[in-house]
Structure 1
Amino acid sequence: MPTSIPTPDTRYRWVVLILCWAAFTMTSVDRATWGPVAGSVGADLGVPVAGLGLFATTYYIGYVVSTAVGGFIADWVGARRTVGLSILLSGGFMLAFGEAETHTMGLVLQVCIGLCAGAEVGGGVKLITSWFVAQRRGFAMGVFVTATSLGLVVANAVVPRLIQSHSWRASYHLFGFTSIAIGVLCLILLRPGPLIVRREGSGRPDLRPLLRNRGLLLLALAGFGALWGTYGFVTWSNLLMVKGAGLAPVRAGTVVVIFGAVAVFSKPLIGLVGDALGLSRRRLTVAILAAFTTCLIAFSFATTATQFLWIAPFLGIAAYVYSPVMMAMIPTLSGGQLAGSATGGVNAVWQLGSTIVPTVVGLVYGATGSFQAVFLVLAAGPFLAIVPMLFLRQADIHEQLPAMAARHHDNDHPLIPATNGKADPS
C-alpha cells in the first residue's frame, strides 16, 4: 500500500533553495563577466578581436567537463560538498585571473574557472529534488535558474562601471571574493532533504540506466541547440553591438541588462504557471524555442539603439524561460537517485553548445564582418532544437510522485534533524 510523502521542513527547504541559487548566481556572474571585459582584456593582454572567442571557449571546455563529472560526484560523495567546493574554488581562480599578465596564463585560468564552476549545477538540482516534490519542482527550478540571467544582469550592470572607475581586474577580484564567501556558507549550512533515498553501501552510482534513457538523450540534444543561441548572444552581443552596430559600451551593456533582467522574473513565473495549470512541458518548450528563433532573427535586423532596446526584453524572455521547463524534466526522467548524474550529463551536452558557439561566431564575424550573419547563425540553434523535442514522448515526462524517501546520509547538517518517511513509487 502506498504511504504518504514525507513533508520537508517548509522553512528550511527555502534556505536550501536560496543557497543553491546564490552559488549558481555567482558562477553565472563569473561566466558573464567575460562579455563586458573582453575588449579591455584583449587590449591589455594583446589579444585580437577574433581571438577573444577562444577565452570563452576555453572556459566552457572546463565548464562542460565539471558539469558532467560534478553531477556524478554529487550522487556519490554528496551534494553539499559539491556545491560548496565548486563555488569556493571557482572564486579562487577568479581572483587569480584578475592577476593574469599574459595571454597564455589567461587561457589556463579560464579553463580552471570553468573546471570548478560547472560542478555546482548537478549538486544544486540534486538538493532541490530532495526538498521539493515533483508537483512543486517547476517553480523551484524556475527560481534556481534565474541565476543564469541574474548573473548576466549583474555582470553587465557592474563591470562596465568598474572598468571606467578602476580596471577590468577589479571585476574579477570583487566577484572572486564574493564567490568564496558563498562557498563557505554552503559548506556550513546546506544539507540534503528527505525525498531521496541514499542506499547504504551502494558505492558509486550505476549510470547504465541513464545511458539507455531515450528521453534524456533527446532533452540533451534540444538543450544543445537552445544554449547555442543563449550563450552565443551572452558572449558576443555586447562586443558586436559596439563594433558591429556602433553603440557606446554603456548603451550596449544596458541592452544586455534588459535582456537578462526580464528573464529573472519570467523564469519563476513560467515554472509557477506551468505547475499550477499542469501544462505540457514538452509543448511549452517547443513554443518557447520557436519564439526564441524569431527574436534572434529580429535582433539581427536591428540597426539603432532604440530598436535593440525594444527587442531586448522579448529576446530575454525567450532566451531563458525554456531552461526551468527543461530542467524540471530531468529528475522525472532519471529518478531522484540519479538526479545529480543525469543533470550533470544532460547539462554537459547542453554546454557543448556554449563551448562551440563563441569560436564559431568569432570565425563567422571575422570572415564576413556581418552583424546580421552572426545572429542568423545563433538563430539556427533554437530552431534545430525544436526537432528532438517533437520526438520526445509525452509519456516520458509525465509527472509522477518521487520514489521511496528515507533518511539521506549526505553529511547531515547537525542543526537540522533528518526526516524519515516513504512515498508512492514512481
Structure 2
Amino acid sequence: MEKDLTSSGEVSGANWTASAAVETEASPFRWVALFIVWAAFLLSYVDRVAWSTVAAPVGASLGIKVSLLGAFVTAFYAGYVIANIIGGMLTDYLGGRATMTLALLPLGVFTFGFGQTTSLTMGIVIQLAMGFAAGADYSAGMKVIPAWFTRDRGRAMGIYTTATSLAVVLANAIVPSLSAKYGWSSAFHMLGAVTFAWGIVSLLFLKNRPGGERAPAKNSAKEMLGLLRNRNLIFLSLAGCGGLWATVGFGAWGNALMTRQYGISPVVAGSIIASFGIGAVIAKPTLGWISDLPGMSRRLMSILCLLAFAVMLVIFGMCSTTTQFYIVAPVLGAFSYGYLPVLMAQISDASGKRLAGASAGWTNAIWQMGSAVSPLAVGNVYGGTHSVVLALLTLAVGPVIAVVAMLFVSKNISRV
C-alpha cells in the first residue's frame, strides 16, 4: 500500500510539473517579466560603460594618465565580481524581484554620485561601489528567465543579452552628446535617476514565477558548493572569462584607441562603437534562437563564434580610416557579444532551474575577472607601445583561451 501511495504521489507531481510547464509557456506575462529584467540589465550596463564613452576628454580634464583611463572600469568590475558571488546566493533565497530591486536602487544613487567625481581616487571608490551594487542584477535575471521560459530559453537569453549590446549603442549615441551639451556630470546624474526609477518599477511589477508554479525549495549550502565541482560549469566559466576579457576590454578602449591614435572625434568614435553594438543586438537573439533548434550544438556554436571574435579583433586592429572602422565594427560586434546567450543557456542547462541564481552568480564572478583585468592590461600595452595592433592582439588572447576551455565542455548537456 505504501508503495502505491508513493507511486501515486510521483505521478501527481509529474502531472503538476507538466501542467505548470504548459502554463508557463502560455502565459503572456512572461514577456513582461523578460522586459523588466531586460531593461534593468540595459540600464545597469549603460551605467558601467558610460565612462568609456567620455574617458579620453574627461580623463584629460581630470588629469588622469592615459594608461589609467581603464582604472574606473577595472574598479567597477572588481566590485561586480564580489557582488556576483553574494548576489547569486541571495537570488536563490530572496527571489529575482527582491534582488533586482536591491541592485538597482543603490546603483542609481552611486551613478548619480559619480557625476561629482573630481579625482582618480574618488572615481575609483564610487565605481567600486557601483559595481558592488550592480552585481546582483544579472543573477536576478538569470533566475527569473528560466522560471518563465523552458523550450525557447535560448531565444529568451538572446533577447535578454541584447541589453548589453544595445547599452553600448545607447551609451555611445547619448552620453557624449549629453556631455558636450550639458557637461559630463549631468549625463551621469540623468543615468542615476533613471536607474533608480526602474528599481521601483521592478519592485512593483516583476513576478518571480508563474502564479500556478510552486516556489522551489531553498537551496542548501552543500548544493551550492556542489556547483563548484560541476565540470561543465567550471569550463563554461573559464570560457566566459576569456570571452569577456576581450568584450569588456574592447568596450573600455575602443573609443579611446580611435580618438587618441587616429584623431577621430569622440562623437564619431561613439557612432562607430554604436554600429558595433547594433551588430551585437542583431546577433544575440538570432544565435539564441538557432541554439534552441533540435539537434543544434550550443557547444559548437560557442566555439565558432569565439574563433571568429578573435579574428575580427585582429582585423579591427589593422584598420586606420573612419570608413574601415564603420565596415568592420558591426561584424566585430556580432561576434564579440553573440557567444554570450549560447554560453548562458548552457549554464542554465548544466545547473537546473532551482540552482540557476547561484550558478549564474559564481560563474559570472569568474567571467568578470577577465572584465576587471583587461582594461588595465590593454592600457599598459597601449601606453607603453602606442600600438593599436598590439592592444587588439592582447584582447584576442581571451577568445582563443575560451575556445580551448569549450573543448572540455560536454557535448551532451541536457536541456531543462
Q: Into which bin does the TM-score normalised by the smaller protein fall? A: over 0.9
Stretches of structure 2 lacking an aligned partner (at least 5 in a row): 1-10
Partner of 1:265: 282
Q: 1:406-417 residue pairs with structure 2 within 5 A?
A: none
Identity of aligned residues (%): 42
The aligned counterpart of 2:199 is 183
Output one character per residue of 1:225-259: Cα deviation in whole Å (capped at 9) or x when no partner.
Answer: 10111111100010111111222222211110000
Q: Report if aligned partners of 2:283, 2:335 keep a CA contact under 8 Å in 1.
A: no
User: In the alignment, residue 287 of structure 2 is paired with which amino acid?
Assistant: I
Name the structure 1 match of 2:49. 32
TM-score (norm 2): 0.92
1:124-163 equivalences in 2 (<5 Å): 124-133=141-150, 135-163=151-179
2:328 is aligned to 311
CA distance in 2, matches of 1:319, 1:111: 25
- Residue type at the aligned position of 1:345: W
- Residue aligning to 1:110: 127
The match for 1:101 is 118
The count of corresponding residues between Structure 1 and Structure 2 is 398
2:90 equivalent in structure 1:
73
Work out which of the residue numbers 119, 126, 131 in structure 1 matches 2:136.
Answer: 119
Contact 1:245–1:371 (8 Å) recurs in 2:
no
Between the aligned partners of 1:109 and 1:278, the Cα distance in structure 2 is: 47
Among candidates 218, 231, 247, match of residue 230 of structure 1: 247
TM-score (norm 1): 0.90
Asked whether the 8 Å contact 1:267–1:321 carries over to 2, the reply is: yes
- Cα deviations by residue, 1:199-244 (Å, 9 ceiling, x for unpaired): 5576667312201100000000001110111111100010111111
Higher alpha-carbon deviation: 196-205 or 336-345: 196-205
Inter-CA distance 393–206: structure 2 relative to 1 (3 Å threshold): closer
Deviation larger for 75-84 or 228-237: 75-84
Write the distance in 1 (CA, Å) between the matches of 2:112 and 2:37: 22
Q: Matches of 1:145 and 1:197 in 2, distance apart?
A: 27
Compare 31-40 and 91-100 and name the one that shifted more. 31-40
* Alignment correspondent of 1:174: 190
Q: State the one-letter code of the partner of 2:170.
A: V
- Alignment correspondent of 2:104: 87
Pair 1:48 & 2:65 matched: yes
Secondary structure in 2 matching 1:145:
helix
Task: Tell me how far apart the structure 2 counterparts of residues 362 and 43 of structure 1 sit (CA, whole Å).
Answer: 15
Which of residues 360, 368, 377 in structure 2 aligns to 1:343?
Answer: 360
Whether the 8 Å contact between 1:85 and 1:187 is mirrored in structure 2 is no
Q: Quick one: distance in 2 between partners of 1:388 and 1:25?
A: 28
Q: Which stretches of structure 1, 4 residues or longer, exceed 4 Å deviation after superposition?
A: 194-197, 199-205
Shift of 1:67: 1.6
1:302–1:308: 8 Å Cα contact kept in structure 2? yes
Q: SS of the counterpart of 1:118? A: helix
- 3-state SS in 2 of match to 1:254: helix
1:289-304 alignment, distance < 5 Å = 289-304=306-321
- Bigger mean CA offset, 1-10 vs 384-393: 1-10
Moved more, 82-91 or 24-33: 82-91
**Could you report, residue by residue, the CA deviation over 1:165-224 in whole angstroms, capped at 9, with x for unpaired residues?**
111112101111110111100011112114975455766673122011000000000011
Aligned partner of residue 244 in structure 1, secondary structure: helix
Letter paired with 2:63: G
1:140 CA displacement: 0.5
* Contiguous gaps of at least 5 residues in structure 1: 401-426
Specify the alignment match of 2:223 in structure 1. Answer: 206
TM-superposed deviation, 1:36? 1.2
* Structure 2: distance between partners of 1:172 and 1:191: 29
Q: Which amino acid aligns with 1:398?
A: S
